[in-house]
């Protein structure tokens, strides 16, 4: 048996603007992971099991547009694999939440299959392959999810460029609050594409502002300025609301986090549901966690970058 896994991810600043070439900050979330296992089979077929999403079938019976099938086929081609084997997938990353579930599943599958056939892959190649699967999920993804999940380090990401490791001074703690409502990434990306086409100057100005905040946030993190990062997150949330990608449930959790002492709070990911993140310190962490649950979060996850 060959096993591999991949973490979730969280976008700190820069979502949506990253699709249009502006920078984004993102970090892995090690508290939740996707897992893939590969076992040899006596029969000359590839069996696929992912019980959480109702998949129990053979690869040759899966359409080309099925993301799990796509990830496995890419891996077989890359590793020049042959013979029969079984791929089993499980994940504790909430799907459609903004935590990078689809990218993590793809990365785990790619790693497990290629390792099973003793084909070594660098993180950059894993990210490239996972991006091909992300296109099925999201239509026009930025590439940030597959990049962060494959490299498993905080990054400053610009579409089309090599990801840059994010320098971190000190320790930055976050509480993630999950609304429990699916985040319709593909629909929101399409909606913003239409807004951008209809009023390019206005939407580009918003994206420029988000990009500037993101660069400022990267500098704050690099200098260990936790107190300066919070207001940048709050400002970014205001811009995302102007773009129309927040939601009442996200707004409620963000407000609850700020009222409980969070240094900053914003949606994370595509929006329209899914997750939000709150920047906290030791004195506010538990109060914010509790406030999010009381405000309706179906789960909270504590994560951090730096040390």
> Nearest-CA neighbor of 22 among 239, 229, 172?
239
Q: Which of 157, 177, 207 is the last residue of a domain?
A: 157
Q: Is residue 162 part of a domain?
A: no
Q: Which of 102, 137, 157 is the last residue of a domain?
A: 157
Q: Is residue 284 part of a domain?
A: yes
pLDDT in tens, 110-166: 999 999 999 999 999 999 999 999 988 766 777 888 999 999 999 999 988 888 999
The residue annotated as part of the active site, out of 145, 178, 236, 289, is 145
Residues 217 and 122 reside in one and the same domain:
no
Is 289 a catalytic site residue? no
pLDDT in tens, 85-102: 999 999 999 988 999 999
| Local structure of 152: helix, strand or coil | coil
The model's pTM is: 0.90
pLDDT in tens, 179-208: 999 998 889 999 999 999 999 999 999 999
Q: Is residue 163 part of a domain?
A: no
CA torsion sign for 33, 91, 255, 203 is positive
In the predicted structure, residue 307 carries a pLDDT above the cut 90: no
Residues 133 and 63 reside in one and the same domain:
yes
In the predicted structure, residue 12 carries a pLDDT above the cut 70: yes
Q: Which of 105, 129, 157 is the last residue of a domain?
A: 157
Residues 234 and 284 reside in one and the same domain:
yes
Q: Is residue 96 part of a domain?
A: yes
- CATH code for the domain in which residue 267 is found: 3.30.70.890
- CATH code for the domain in which residue 86 is found: 3.30.230.10
Domains in the chain, number: 2
Residues 151 and 217 reside in one and the same domain:
no
Residue 53 lies in domain:
2-157
Backbone angles phi, psi at 136, to 5 degrees: -70, -40
């Amino acid at each position: 048996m060959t096993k591999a896994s991949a973490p979730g991810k969280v976008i700190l600043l820069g979502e949506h603007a990253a699709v249009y070439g502006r920078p984004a900050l993102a970090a892995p979330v090690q508290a939740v992971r996707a897992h893939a296992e590969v076992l040899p089979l006596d029969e000359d077929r590839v069996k696929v099991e992912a019980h959480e999403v109702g998949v129990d079938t053979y690869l040759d019976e899966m359409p080309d547009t099925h993301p799990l099938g796509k990830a496995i086929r890419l891996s077989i081609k890359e590793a020049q694999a042959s013979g029969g084997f079984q791929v089993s997938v499980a994940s504790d990353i909430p799907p459609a939440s903004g935590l990078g579930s689809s990218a993590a599943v793809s990365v785990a599958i790619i790693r497990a299959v290629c390792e099973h056939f003793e084909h070594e892959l660098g993180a950059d190649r894993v990210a490239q392959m996972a991006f091909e699967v992300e296109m099925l999920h999201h239509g026009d993804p930025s590439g940030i999810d597959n990049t962060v999940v494959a490299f498993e380090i905080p990054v400053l990401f610009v579409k089309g460029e090599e990801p840059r490791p994010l320098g971190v001074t000190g320790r930055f703690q976050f509480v993630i609050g999950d609304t429990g409502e699916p985040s319709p990434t593909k629909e929101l990306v399409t909606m913003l594409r239409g807004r951008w086409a209809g009023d390019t100057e206005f939407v580009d100005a918003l994206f420029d502002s988000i990009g500037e905040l993101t660069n400022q946030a990267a500098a704050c993190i690099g200098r260990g300025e936790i107190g300066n990062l919070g207001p940048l997150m709050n400002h970014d949330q205001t811009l995302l609301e102007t773009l129309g990608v927040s939601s009442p449930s996200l707004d409620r959790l963000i407000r609850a986090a700020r009222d409980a002492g969070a240094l900053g709070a914003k949606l994370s990911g595509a929006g329209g549901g899914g997750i939000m993140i709150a920047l906290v310190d030791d004195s506010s962490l538990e109060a914010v966690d509790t406030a999010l649950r009381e405000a309706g979060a179906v789960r909270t996850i504590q994560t951090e970058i730096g040390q």
